[in-house]
Amino acid sequence: MADTRPIRVLVAKPGLDGHDRGAKIIARALRDAGMEVIYTGIRQTPEMIVEAAIQEDVDAILMSILSGAHMAIFPKVMNLLQQNHVDDVLVAAGGILPDEDIPAIKSMGIKGCFGPGAPLDEIIQFVRDNVQTDRLSVGV
Amino acid sequence: MRLSSLCATMCRPTACLSECRCALQNIVERLLSGDRRALARMVTLIESEAAPSHRYLAELHQHAGHAHIVGVTGSPGAGKSTLVTRLVREYRKQDTKVGVIAIDPTSPYSGGAILGDRIRMMELAGDPNVFIRSMASRGSLGGLSSSTRDVVRAMDAAGYDPIIIETVGTGQAEVEVMRTAQTVLVVVAPGMGDDIQAIKAGILEIADIFVVSKADKAGSDQTVAELAMLLSLDSNRRKAAWRIPIVKTSSYKEQGIEQLVESIQQHRQYLLESGVIVSRAQRQVRSELNALIMHAVANALKAEMSEEEWDAVVDDVTRRDRDPYTVASEIQARIGLK
């Protein structure tokens, strides 16, 4: 019996923009890296994202947003996670995130920010390195 | 209800989620009291065959057995996820907690999977009384994953009723859902012509209800007629007390869903009144016990035989120094099999 299980990742598109090519490419790359990727589809509210993360018991949440609403939406997601005591899930963001916003995004507890052109391997490695390993251990 | 207030009512103050994450002995209790995070974590433990999961499931077994378990199967693109969404919405009008298990295939190459059923179920997202869990098939070939049955047990114990299982898109032989569900819906989209011929052998036989989906499209009446004809040719079915209904649904025009829920209810009534529910349960328990024992044997074999030993005996048999029957019986004896 394997002593670890596949990493489970929620790929979510919050906000109102409908451009999910990037999210789908990430989802596909993570799948090819052996992860189980739950893709929510576009136009997700923070409540929908957090509820899905709880029910699916994911190890990581990757949010992709291109509309510029990240400074409004990300804090809501992080607050809802906190309110629900979800404190062991890696959160990362991608999309159009201006450089000047990145320190603020990271201070919310969002560990990684990946803009256009971020190499897929880097994102995969980031997820592998940063998910909490005690979540993945399934005992003997 | 907002998530925050829901959590406040679900978590007992003395054992809130973050604190008892390590105290897994509480997980059964928390699951039974309706804590969604406990159920979610239990499903993870079950799926990954974590060491304590059988102990937890043994406890949950006595609390399960109340839910009606509905399987939804059919070929890829037949409209299963959309239909499940509509069904759940209909059930939610009766204010019941509904469980959904949606299975998608695992890549045979990477071991990864894209679980996309939530895309179709978006309108259910955010409703804490609908628990949706996406599962990867993880190498299982019957249209379910090997732990689906145990996940049903956990949801059942947590008070979800009905529980709807959506299989991977199936071809002809993925009939595993009949070993877990009580009512099996086979979804057929119109315009697939000869595909109905193709499902004759495997899937036709496991349907308790046929659903002709996308009934707003041309050709649905013809599909209904073809299915009716196929059913009329099945002599066993003709004699059976349950007449398999063929229900036309259109998720787009929101038609036929109430009728489908009604048919599912009638089927449950039939199962209860005829006693078939007991014989089905017995058949399912038999298959479950078999699977558990086979699994234990496979694990015992894995633990007993090192790779080097395998290589050695494989070489012996390949060179014809020894025969496979003697070698197998020696290994069987080592793991305690006669």
Q: Which domains does chain A have, with CATH numbers?
A: 8-133 (3.40.50.280)
Nearest to B43 among A40, A52, A57 (CB): A57
Regarding whether B287 and B261 lie in a shared domain, the answer is no
Largest CA distance in chain A: 47
Note whether A41 contacts B132, CB cutoff 8 Å: no
Residue identified by tokens 């894995």 is B302
- Count of pairs with CB atoms under 8 A, one residue in A, one in B: 119
* Number of domains chain B contains: 3
B64 at A interface, C-beta within 8 A: no
The share of chain B scoring above pLDDT 70, in percent, equals 88
Residue identified by tokens 């990430």 is A26
Chain B residues lying within 8 Å of A40, measured CB to CB: 118-119, 122, 125
What letter represents residue B49's amino acid?
A: E
Q: Is the pLDDT of residue B192 over 80?
A: no
d(CA B95, CA B174): 32
Regarding whether B136 and B222 lie in a shared domain, the answer is yes
Regarding whether B242 and B117 lie in a shared domain, the answer is yes
Q: How many CB atoms lie within 10 A of CB A67?
A: 16
d(CA B126, CA B227): 37
B15 at A interface, C-beta within 8 A: no
B103 at A interface, C-beta within 8 A: no
Regarding whether B176 and B137 lie in a shared domain, the answer is yes
Chain B residues lying within 8 Å of A36, measured CB to CB: 106, 112-113, 115, 136
Mean pLDDT, residues B257-268 taken together: 96
User: Are A15 and A65 a contacting pair, CB within 8 Å?
Assistant: yes
Regarding whether B302 and B241 lie in a shared domain, the answer is no
Note whether B122 contacts A40, CB cutoff 8 Å: yes
Regarding whether B106 and B54 lie in a shared domain, the answer is no
Regarding whether B319 and B252 lie in a shared domain, the answer is no
Q: How far, in Å, are B86, B263, B272 from residue B91 at the CA level?
A: 9, 13, 20
A3 at B interface, C-beta within 8 A: no
B111 at A interface, C-beta within 8 A: yes
Regarding whether B126 and B42 lie in a shared domain, the answer is no
pLDDT tens readout for residues A19-64: 888 899 999 999 999 999 999 989 999 999 999 999 999 999 999 9
Regarding whether B71 and B41 lie in a shared domain, the answer is no
State the CATH number of the domain containing residue B183: 3.40.50.300
Element (H, E) at B130: strand B130-136
Regarding whether B247 and B290 lie in a shared domain, the answer is no
pLDDT tens readout for residues B47-95: 988 878 889 999 999 999 999 999 999 888 888 999 999 999 999 999 8
Q: Which residues contact B323 (CB under 8 A, 6 or more apart)?
A: B317
**DSSP of B68-120:** -EEEEEESTTSSHHHHHHHHHHHHHTTT--EEEEEEEPPPTTTS-EEE-HHHH
Helix axes B80-92, B257-274, angle to 10 degrees: 80
Final residue of a structural domain among B274, B301, B320: B274
Interface test with A, best of B48, B145, B160, B301 (most A CBs within 10 A): B48
A97–chain B nearest CA distance, Å: 25
Regarding whether B244 and B113 lie in a shared domain, the answer is yes
Structural domain harbouring B2: 1-62
Mean pLDDT, residues B105-132 taken together: 87
- At B193, is the pLDDT very low, low, confident or very high (cuts 50, 70, 90)? low
Largest CA distance in chain B: 72
Task: Answer with the residue of higher pLDDT: B220 or B175.
Answer: B220
B102 at A interface, C-beta within 8 A: no
Regarding whether B301 and B228 lie in a shared domain, the answer is no
What number is the ipTM of this complex? 0.86
B301 at A interface, C-beta within 8 A: no
pLDDT tens readout for residues A86-120: 999 999 999 999 999 999 999 999 999 998 889 99
